[in-house]
Amino acid sequence: MKKRAILTTVVAFLLLVAVIAAGLNAVFTVTYVNARFLTYTEEGETAARELKEDLNEYLGKSTTFLDLEEVRAAAEAYSRFRVVSVGKEYPASVVVEIVERRAAFALAASDGWDVLDADGVRIGSSDSADTYMELKGDFSFSYENGAITGPYAAQLLELYDVLSELLGEPRANIVSVMFEDNENTATDAFDRFRIATREGVEIVIRDPAVRIADKARAAVELYLSLSENERVCGTINSVIVEETGKASAQWSLYKYVCKNCDYEYKDNIPFRQLPDSWVCPSCGASKSTFEEILIR
């Protein structure tokens, strides 16, 4: 009798578990797929809508036995997006957070702009050139291997990572990154990156081969500490201080004076961002006739 009683209890218990499980399954089914998207481009918008359609196949499925890894895989099938999180939300929602892969670099093309992501993969094009960071100077990239080529290509991607981290969406602040080799720099024998910011202040990173991430970090932190007014002029230089081994940035102000007629440039547009075709408003001499003089 005892054995039978135990058996009955076990069977009753298992039945109860089965009933509860079935009940949970019936009650907690996915009634809402909450797909949260952050997109930057029209193509991204379109792809986001398609992905949301795909995810709707999970509607009506049990939330209890839902395999979140499977949902993640479905979202990751879209290479345009980075999946930030996949989760369940009480009582019956699946939440998927997706961010469109960031446009990192753009190069001028005859019919618009080619936009690359931080890995150098072409992810689209744009005709709103000023919303993307532009590469100038000797940078190039090829579609075949999707890579940025030219001097210091690897350092450029390192630089992009620092800019992303400290500035968020870099294109909000950075207009262009230009490579200048030492033959074009009058003052010293180093290659450099010149980073033009939207407000006008310029960030110069000399000798990109050496610890570019450290130097960029110091420079951007200084840039962020400047007031709105201060950001419109001057140059931020970042170097490794030999004694301490640490990166340090310095903000310098320059004035630009025509060597031909002594006219001093004072307009709001930063002098370096003037086109090469610009001429001295006083005597008509070329832009290269102007001398850069350090004020402080």
Minimum CB distance to Zn ion, residue 164 (Å): 41
* E-strand stretches of the chain: 32-38, 81-89, 93-100, 103-109, 112-117, 122-126, 134-136, 140-142, 147-149, 174-180, 192-197, 202-206, 235-240, 247-252, 254-258, 290-294
The torsion angle over the Cα atoms of residues 21, 27, 31 and 37, rounded to 10 degrees, is -50
Does position 258 interact with Zn ion (CB under 5 A)? The reply is: yes
Does position 256 interact with Zn ion (CB under 5 A)? The reply is: no
Check: CB of residue 151 under 8 Å from CB of residue 181. Answer: yes
Does position 261 interact with Zn ion (CB under 5 A)? The reply is: yes
Does position 31 interact with Zn ion (CB under 5 A)? The reply is: no
Identify which range of 52-60, 130-138, 171-179, 255-263 contacts Zn ion by CB under 5 A: 255-263
Does position 274 interact with Zn ion (CB under 5 A)? The reply is: no
Return the number of the residue (77 or 261) whose C-beta is nearest Zn ion: 261
Does position 260 interact with Zn ion (CB under 5 A)? The reply is: yes
Please pick, from the candidates 14, 19, 20, 283, the single residue that binds Zn ion as defined by CB under 5 A.
283
91-115: burial string, b at 16+ Cβ within 10 Å, e else? eeebebbbebbbbbbbbeeeeebbb
Minimum CB distance to Zn ion, residue 248 (Å): 36
CA dist 294 and 136 (Å) reads: 25
Return the number of the residue (93 or 260) whose C-beta is nearest Zn ion: 260
Return the number of the residue (190 or 278) whose C-beta is nearest Zn ion: 278
Check: CB of residue 270 under 8 Å from CB of residue 255. Answer: no
Identify which range of 17-25, 81-89, 218-226, 280-288 contacts Zn ion by CB under 5 A: 280-288
Minimum CB distance to Zn ion, residue 262 (Å): 7
Does position 28 interact with Zn ion (CB under 5 A)? The reply is: no
Residues that bind Zn ion (CB under 5 A): 258, 260-261, 263, 280, 282-283, 285
